């Protein structure tokens, strides 16, 4: 997903941080765009890209 975001969103720099407990969060400039812990689901790449482009 990181490579897809970087290729689709101009200026995006993706950093993957290893974690435990099934946590998977997408954060941009301090704002959480998706949290698997909250939703119980992994984010869809297209939804993440759309959210980043709308910022």
Domain assignments of the chain as residue spans, ordered by start: 2-53
**So what's the pLDDT on residue 23?**
87
Triad 29, 31, 8: Cα angle to 5° = 65
**So what's the pLDDT on residue 19?**
86
Contact 32, 25 (CB under 8 A): yes
Which residues are registered as beta bridge partners of 32?
27
For 10, what's the count of Cα atoms within 13 Å in the CB-facing half-sphere? 2
pTM, entire model: 0.81
**So what's the pLDDT on residue 7?**
97
In the block, residue with structure tokens 């998706």: 34
**So what's the pLDDT on residue 15?**
93
Question: pLDDT tens digit string along 3-54?
Answer: 999 999 999 999 998 888 888 999 999 999 999 999 999 999 999 999 999 9
**So what's the pLDDT on residue 21?**
85
């Amino acid at each position: 997903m990181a490579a897809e975001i970087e290729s689709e969103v101009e200026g995006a720099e993706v950093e993957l941080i290893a974690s435990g407990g099934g946590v998977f969060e997408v954060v941009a400039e301090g704002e959480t765009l998706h949290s698997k812990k909250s939703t119980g689901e992994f984010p869809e790449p297209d939804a993440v890209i759309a959210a980043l482009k709308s910022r």
